[in-house]
Amino acid sequence: MPVQYFDETRLFCLTTATTAYLFQISPDGQPLHLYWGAKLPRIEDYPLAPPDRQHSSFNATLHQNMSEYLCRSGIAEYEPSLRVTFADGVRDVRLKYLSYRIEGESLSVRLADIFYKLELSLEYRIVPECDMLARRVTVYNNGQEPITLEQILSASLPLAPDRGDYRLTHLSGAWACEALLERCAITPGRKSLEGRLNYSGHAANPFFALDLVDRAGQGAGESVGEVYFGALQWSGNWKIVVEQERAAGKRTRVAGGINDFEFSWQLGASNSFETPWMALGYSNAGFGKMSRNLHRYVSEQLLPPQFAHELRPVLYNSWEAVFFEVNEASQITLAEKATKLGAEVFVVDDGWFGERHSDRAGLGDWQTNPAKFPNGLKPLIAKVNTLGMDFGLWVEPEMVNPDSDLYRAHPEWAYHYPNREPITGRNQLILNLCREDVQDWMLGWLDALLSKHNIRYVKWDYNRAISEIGWTDGAQSEIPVRHVQALYSIVAQLRAKHPYVLFEACSGGGGRADMGMLTHFDHVWTSDNTDPLDRLLIQQGYSLVYPPKTMYCWVTATDWNAGNYSLRYRFHSSFMGALGIGTNLNSMSEQNLAEAAALVAQYKQLRPVIQHGNFYRLTTLGEKEVQAYQYQREGEGVVLAFGQRYHFWKFLNRLRLYGLEAEVLYQLEGDLMKDEPRLLSGEALMRRGLVPKLEHALSSALITLHKI
């Protein structure tokens, strides 16, 4: 039973495969957190009352410290999850327990303010098979007067005190270096991870992991140690706050949800507001198990069902080959070569519409440029289809260039303040997606485009951060939420009408890589940085949270590090997720084209294991010299190992594999050191391991395992 309720103690116990999460309604009607961690044999094994610690008149009460959802009320030390202003100006919320409801794997606990007509439902969804749960809240205004929501997070909870120190692992970055690993010790004070620019952002990813550091200073590893983690299913402004107080045994709390920055929401009479879900998990077997649980959760619970279990196609994308110089002839030449390489989808990127010859003009004018495509897109699509590929197209629907017919006709459609010049980013402005006329227009042209053409793949881009978050006729402080709600709704409507179309989420690379997008889109364009060595760091960070099959990795000619990479190294780096090719095929020699075609064919053979298998990091996060990964699907495995740096004096550590059957023999093939055995038991591979053949800094190894 994933949800149990014990009436006598008013105790809720939520269990997944290996974890348990407990809270209780106190005698005075407060939901107090009791436990989150490993599942224990008996209910009596859990702490069944909150710790009774002394506090002073300077500190928040015990109730607040242990609150399952902290409201702005009383002495408020910690980040509140709920802050409101009632119509009479009162800003204090005092909730008391009303009732609960259990429906299968869902629990909701209803609370109500002791005076005002505000009710709150704490909602829990347990996903036992992914070893995870998700939390969100819905707030109801049952009165006649409006209530202003100033902050409403999805979840907050205290973490077990007295168990050691916590270390935070998170992902941070910028354009072209998304999802880089960051680690820091949690010390008294507040650490806030945030997105504030109307998209989840390049700078930080809405994910956290807190592992316990033991008294010897040792944190969790890939397969050992305890890790608490979570991620927000939201693509707009967000925040995750981790805070620790010195008193009360250095109690640590974590909270997350929609960012209160630039946000407030008028909750009218008889209205409700639902937060996004925050997915939460605990691993007692290190970061490896954390990643696999997150991957399963995204794949099985979130990804749009049409393609959730389908293999992602090998794609060719025109961007780095021709940038804005797309036209029928240039694309046909590329398509003829792409099909020979084995591409399955041919995606025409930016530049096909309006007066789009550079990033200075054209966004908003979504008609084919007649000089580039005199007969529209249909002849090119037909040609691509004849060559055996599906056709895909780039769009950036939420943006407009001031130099466009759309902007000339509707300057009021862009977010703006009437009394100041809007600041452009990449020469563009953001369309006000909160307006119904903008939504209708957007849905209209996208639907028409997909209805009239055989388009099977849409790359949906978003290339700037917001500046003037202004809207003269609407609630400006609701923009950060309404924009994202409208985006989700438009994509959902398009998907319902065009269920055979794959949708890729892109934001100048990986600026919108989050669980919200992965609920509406099938995968993500990971980064505009396609240097294969840089990409290893970005891909390591992305795959920490999100499944490899949702991570598109293109092979290009980029070489920011003067690595002079072999074609094999470039391909192997891109084998880590869903394979794409983004290089100018016209500049490749016949020999390189033939080698590339063989590598694509090899990827296709390995793809079911890479895309549907379990993912294991064989080197620890942040290791500087070698990165290695294993993908394992039943008896079939793929190991990818990459040299990053090399020191002559160092021997490569053996890589111990995971997830094999101990007694069974595995046949190994590929780039192993010459004296390495080719037939080993699962036990030997998991205990002794193997040594890949990595001969210099930028060499890569690919090894396959086959169960005998």
Binding footprint of ligand DGJ on the chain (CB under 6 A):
319, 349-350, 394, 461, 463, 506, 508-509, 525, 528
- Identity of the residue, 518 or 621, whose beta carbon is nearer to ligand DGJ in the bound complex: 518
Q: In DSSP terms, which residues pair with 280 in a beta bridge?
A: 133, 230
Separation of alpha carbons 561 and 537, rounded Å: 13
Instruction: Spell out a b/e string for 559-580, using b for 16 or more CB atoms within 10 Å of the CB, else e.
Output: eeeebebebbbbbbbbbbbbbb
CA 158 to chain centre: 24
What is the DSSP secondary structure assignment for residue 284, as one 8-state letter? Answer: S
With a CB cutoff of 8 Å and minimum separation 6, the contacts of 534 are 176, 177, 527, 560, 561
- Identity of the residue, 275 or 507, whose beta carbon is nearer to ligand DGJ in the bound complex: 507
Cβ 97 to ligand DGJ shortest distance, Å: 48
Residue nearest ligand DGJ, CB atom distance: 350
Q: Where does 38-81 have alpha helices with state H?
A: 62-65
Phi, psi of 634 (to 5 degrees): 50, -120
Cβ 459 to ligand DGJ shortest distance, Å: 6
- Identity of the residue, 140 or 525, whose beta carbon is nearer to ligand DGJ in the bound complex: 525
Q: At what angle do helices 286-297 and 532-545 cross, to 10 degrees?
A: 80
Separation of alpha carbons 697 and 694, rounded Å: 8
- Identity of the residue, 229 or 394, whose beta carbon is nearer to ligand DGJ in the bound complex: 394
Separation of alpha carbons 505 and 94, rounded Å: 41
Cβ 482 to ligand DGJ shortest distance, Å: 25
Cβ 531 to ligand DGJ shortest distance, Å: 14
Of 528, 531, 534, 671, the active-site residue reads 528
Short-list 542, 502, 503, 514, CA closest to 526: 542
Cβ 525 to ligand DGJ shortest distance, Å: 5
Cβ 506 to ligand DGJ shortest distance, Å: 5
The two structure tokens encoding residue 598: 């063989």
- Identity of the residue, 399 or 694, whose beta carbon is nearer to ligand DGJ in the bound complex: 399
490 contacts 446 by C-beta, under 8 angstroms: yes
Separation of alpha carbons 261 and 238, rounded Å: 9
What is the DSSP secondary structure assignment for residue 510, as one 8-state letter? Answer: B
Cβ 154 to ligand DGJ shortest distance, Å: 29
CA 589 to chain centre: 37
Cβ atoms within 10 A of the Cβ of 448, count? 11
Separation of alpha carbons 43 and 23, rounded Å: 12
Separation of alpha carbons 217 and 283, rounded Å: 19
Separation of alpha carbons 170 and 184, rounded Å: 9
The two structure tokens encoding residue 183: 């680690």
527 contacts 510 by C-beta, under 8 angstroms: yes
C-beta pairs of 491-500 under 8 Å, 24+ apart in sequence? 491/460, 491/520, 491/521, 492/520, 493/443, 493/447, 494/443, 494/446, 494/447, 494/450, 494/458, 495/304, 495/306, 495/520, 497/447, 497/450, 497/451, 498/447, 498/450, 498/451, 499/306, 500/306, 500/456
- Identity of the residue, 281 or 509, whose beta carbon is nearer to ligand DGJ in the bound complex: 509
Cβ atoms within 10 A of the Cβ of 63, count? 17
- Identity of the residue, 463 or 611, whose beta carbon is nearer to ligand DGJ in the bound complex: 463
Short-list 665, 626, 623, CA closest to 642: 626
- Identity of the residue, 366 or 629, whose beta carbon is nearer to ligand DGJ in the bound complex: 366
Cβ 708 to ligand DGJ shortest distance, Å: 43
Cβ 351 to ligand DGJ shortest distance, Å: 8
Cβ 462 to ligand DGJ shortest distance, Å: 9
528 classed as catalytic: yes
With a CB cutoff of 8 Å and minimum separation 6, the contacts of 594 are none
Of 131, 461, 534, 671, the active-site residue reads 461
- Identity of the residue, 22 or 321, whose beta carbon is nearer to ligand DGJ in the bound complex: 321
531 classed as catalytic: no
Residues involved in catalysis: 461, 528
